[in-house]
Structure 1
Amino acid sequence: MLELTEWQQTRFYQEVKEETKLKMIPKLLSVGVTLEQIACVLELDIEVVKQAIKQQSSK
């Protein structure tokens, strides 16, 4: 059986974690959080945040 720390290191867990962070970006923007603040809070590179916004706005 996987321990919690082992589970958190799985590829599936990491992908879900990243996807969840990216889904939070539009919500944070809608309440006035800046790009820099989003990157800091979600522990993402500012360029990743900008790219996610660009991709989500083209949907």
Structure 2
Amino acid sequence: MQESVIYQDILQKGEQRGQKIGEERLVIRQINRKFGEIQPALIERIKLLTTQELEDLGEALLDFSEVSDLVAWLNQE
């Protein structure tokens, strides 16, 4: 069963989802540490990002000085 194409597909999708959730959590923790608690609406927007966009946001955060920088970045995506 573990060698079936369907099983491997399900496993891969689960791994990808787990990776995305982990990246969401990390980016949100970084934002909260830098700016304090942010609005739930911003968190929801972050959760809609793709894995690549989350990685890009993680890098961009290094250049942000205030929450408005985050909002501007999200509006560009």
TM-score bucket of the superposed structures, by smaller chain:
0.3 to 0.5
Structure 1 length-normalised TM: 0.44
Instruction: Find the structure with the greater CA-based Rg.
Output: 2
Structure 2 length-normalised TM: 0.36
